[in-house]
Structure 1
Amino acid sequence: MLLDELTRLTGREDPYPRYQRLREISPVVRADDGALVVTRHADCVAVTRHPQLGHMPSHMLEFVRADWADHPALHQLFTSILAINPPDHTRLRRLVSSSFTARRVQALQPRISEMVEDLLVRMNGDVDFIAAFAFPLPVNVIGELLGIPEEDRAQFQGLVRDWTQVLEVITPEVLATADPAAATIRAYLAGLAAERRRKPGDDLISALVAAEEDGEKLTEDELLTMAALLFAAGFETTTNLLANSVVALLHHPDQLESLRREPGLAASAVEELLRFDAPVQLLSRVAWDDVEIAGVPVSGGERIVAYLGAGNRDPERFTEPDRLDLTRADNAPLSFGGGIHYCFGAPLARLEAQIAIPALLTRFPNLALTGNPGRRDSLAIRGYTSLPISVG
């Protein structure tokens, strides 16, 4: 079955032909675990915006795993804004949005440009693009935004990878790695938050500590969970966006050259690159009540999976969807979700890519792959563990 193929690394290497076949055979299917899977653009949009679809309510989590609250990795995930519903989601998003503002993000633009230049200057000859650029740039950007000292940032790549394994599968083996990683991240952030209470700075941790609306503030647990999520999401998605974009451009030299000649295409180019090979390939929702999705009845408590990567390549929505076209006029991707759970870090990821990718192409006219990239073994998150390139 096509869904089974996507669970294997070989099937995920290039999932898009399988998405197409699945959409042609049946755009709405039941997975072996009973989940309803949708692959059309319109259906993916409907799933992200449906008022009766959300995350699994807290009282149902015990059916996933009765002892979830005893595992740091699961507690930190299931109580985060990534996995909760209104009214708690509404309250937390409002409090965080008051701190994580568009103005704060835009103010980072000169600093991001400096970081990009600093990393490019250090690159020479054959390098691993992930280690040399795609990881250090976003981890330093989100680290600076949160107020994490520069010397502490590098340790978090492995910790975040270990923790976020629980997004894919929850097994004793995964938890044995994910739990200590989540606990280490939380302990570090607890120390940093305590320091910011004593001595506030001009950073997001200080702003979150002070955030208040209508007399409400973040609890200590909410603060630490939010900070962990912001830090993890702040570099994990952007690292994959940068790497996926470089691979796509190197495989489409005509598009690479057009962006090199016209750096002003950056905003449109990043949207198209997000559409063409999204860092986040799917999202999951639970029906709170009996609903109908794509003409199929769904009972309350049942799960729906929207393949965003498939929706981004739907020919009913995009003309020649398998063609990379950086000048595509109507190329808004599904890659950051939608509705009330739309990723509020999307503007920062876009800004980093819009600055970084043209700068990389301009500085290195002979950019080339030098070996086979190492594919990340993940269904939901699409990216690379290594990306060997030559910068000349």
Structure 2
Amino acid sequence: MTTATDPRTAMTTLLSPRGKRDPYPLYEALRAYGPILPLGPGQLVVTGHAECSRALRETALLSTDAAVQDALLPGWRDHSSWRWLTRNMLFSNNPDHDRYRRFFGVAFTPRRIAALRPALEGLIGGLVDRLADLGAGGAPVDFMAEFAFRVPMAVMGELLGIPEEEQPGFRGAIGAITTALEPVQDLAQLAPGDAAMDQLAVYFTDLAARRRARPGTDLVSEMVRLRDATGELSEEELVANFMLLLVAGTEAPMDLIGNALRLALEHPGHAARLREDPSLAPGFVEETLRFDPAAQALNRMAAEDFDFFGVPVAAGTKVTLLIAAGNRDPRQYADPGVFDPGRQGNHALTLSGGAHYCLGAGLARMQAELALPAVLRRFPGLAPAGEPTFRDQLVQRGFGQLLVKCG
């Protein structure tokens, strides 16, 4: 790719299929103009690690809640995707954010996540066996559909009480909802996300009603009981956050597992070491989160005038945090363009930070740390079976298809 040197051209190219396929040269083109880049009136682009890290913790910068979206995307209230998104903890600010986070935080304590490990190991073992059956005789297998998606979907299915036979059918809806997070030039681009969100809203409204009538041991039953006992959330807020748990809890680990496998295939020396020593998995996963993360960008808006590393920011300014660029900031990392699973002092921005730090970060890491060595050990001859395809997305980056031969 020819690196664009003009900031506006670089930003425009980022939204093209070419830019989404390989955004990293464009991030470097933007970085050449400094870690904080004014891009016309009322817009800043941030590429620096320290700057993104502070922005994620800056109380003067708001996440994209309903009030912020009114300023950024007029007409959004006619679209169910964003009507539901602005009722969940990811797209909210205080006091609602603290209320949502406190309510659902009890489900993702380190102790509860650690307790899932034995079941997750068994689940991954079964899916590796399934992958072997599908790839018997050298048949190419889509790793994304048949493994990377199925691992987190099974985990979230178990947590939320979604029957196993229903789980594969959610992939299309989950993917469509993530397209609503992309920059849109025309509100009609939200139509796939609208339809998918409507589908999930009906599903979780019905599931909550069924668990209210006949409680189980799943998270939906627990959260319904807590909501009814405390009144802390409305029924719509409850359903909206169930949808968030399913979408974020499936899509992000899926892309982490897919990206990690591709990096293993591209770096056979690192893959061989991981195959022999699974204790290296945390470093491999952490470096994947830094080097080629699923989450590439986040948006914020200034709630008030403030100073940001010497740059005056006016209230109402849109701030685009290119966190994937921050992850390759040479001021933070030596040789940032090198994939190094043994890297020390890795502080990837991928799982956000501050009050919005990913609630399921520990669970996502654990899935990838168990899944990747299991696949590499079972299939020492694993190899690509064609050129992978990327989804036409930038904010949530990942493969549409990753064909492999199990060997």
Query: Which TM-score band applies after superposition, normalised by the shorter structure?
Result: over 0.9
Q: 1:148 to 1:214 in 2, by over 3 A?
A: closer
Cα displacement (A) at 1:216: 4.4
Residue in structure 2 matching 1:255, options 270, 279, 283: 270
The match for 2:63 is 55
1:287 and 2:302 matched: yes
Mapped contact 1:81–1:92 kept (Cα < 8 A) = yes
Aligned equivalents of 1:243, 1:206: Cα separation in 2: 31
The answer to whether 1:44 aligns with 2:43 is no
Q: Structure 1 residues 213, 285: closer, same or farther in 2, change over 3 A? A: farther
**Structure 2 residue 284 is matched with structure 1 residue 276:** no
Measure, in 1, the Cα distance between the counterparts of 2:150 and 2:286.
22
**Shift of residue 215, structure 1, vs aligned partner:** 4.1
Change (3 A) 1:326 1:57: closer
Taking a change above 3 Å as real, the CA distance of residues 36 and 66 of structure 1, as seen in their structure-2 partners, is closer
User: How many Å apart are 1:104 and its aligned residue?
Assistant: 2.4
CA contact (8 A) 2:42 2:316 kept: no
The code of the aligned residue for 2:237 comes to E
Q: Tell me, yes or no, if structure 1 residue 69 matches structure 2 residue 74.
A: no
Query: Percent identical across equivalent pairs?
Result: 40
- Measure how far apart 1:374 and its partner are: 0.5
Q: In the alignment, what sits opposite 2:401?
A: 386
Unaligned runs of 5+ in 1: none
Is residue 211 from structure 1 mapped to residue 226 from structure 2 by the alignment? yes
Q: Secondary structure at the match of 1:356?
A: helix
Corresponding letter in the other structure for 2:85: L
The answer to which of 193-202 and 163-172 deviates more is 163-172
Aligned to 1:131: 145
| SS of match in other structure, 2:334 | coil
User: Is residue 88–residue 100 contact of structure 2 (8 Å, CA) maintained in 1?
Assistant: no
One-letter amino acid of the counterpart of residue 190, structure 2: L
Q: Any idea what SS the aligned residue of 1:285 has? A: strand
1:31 aligns with 2:39: yes
Q: Is the 8 A contact 2:153 2:167 kept in 1?
A: yes
Superposition pairs of residues 272-351 of structure 1, within 5 angstroms: 272-351=287-366
The runs of 5 or more residues in structure 2 that have no matched partner are 1-8
Of the three residues 24, 30, 52, the one matched with 1:22 is 30
Counterparts of 2:393 and 2:308, CA distance in 1: 26
Deviation of the 1:320 alpha carbon: 1.1
Residue 64 of structure 1 deviates from its aligned partner by 3.9
Task: Say if 2:387 is the partner of 1:372.
Answer: yes
Cα distance change on mapping 1:32 and 1:379 into 2, 3 Å: farther
Change (3 A) 1:318 1:63: closer
Call closer, same or farther: CA 1:24–1:147 in 2, change over 3 Å: same
Match in the other structure for 1:149: 163
| Greater mean deviation of Cα atoms: 360-369 or 198-207 | 198-207
User: In the superposition, relative to structure 1, how do residues 41 and 353 fare at CA in structure 2: closer, same or farther (>3 Å)?
Assistant: same
Aligned partner of residue 284 in structure 1, secondary structure:
strand
- Structure 1: how far apart are the matches of 2:370 and 2:216? 26
Measured after TM superposition, the shift of residue 311 of structure 1 is 0.8
Distance 1:57 1:184 in 2: 22
**1:265 alignment counterpart:** 280
Deviations 1:272-329 (A, max 9, x none): 1111111101111111100122322111111111111111111111111111111112
Q: Is the 8 A contact 2:65 2:86 kept in 1?
A: no
- The TM-score with structure 2 as length reference comes to 0.92
Which is further off, 252-261 or 236-245? 252-261
Quote the RMSD (CA, aligned, Å): 1.8
Mark the CA change 1:15 to 1:61 in structure 2 (over 3 Å): closer, same or farther. Answer: closer
Paired AA for residue 31 in structure 2: R
Task: Identify if the C-alpha distance between structure 1 residues 160 and 216 changes in structure 2 by more than 3 Å, giving closer, same or farther.
Answer: same
Normalised by the size of structure 1, how large is the TM-score? 0.95
Q: Does structure 1 conserve the Cα–Cα contact (< 8 Å) formed by 2:68 and 2:301?
A: no
Letter in 1 for 2:320: V
Describe how 1:232-243 pairs up with structure 2 within 5 A: 232-243=247-258
How far residue 53 of structure 1 moved from its aligned partner, in angstroms, is: 0.9
Amino acid of the residue matched to residue 288 of structure 1? A
8 Å Cα contact 2:99/2:232 also seen in 1: no
Offset, 1:154: 1.4
Which one of the candidate residues 365, 368, 384 is aligned to 1:353?
368
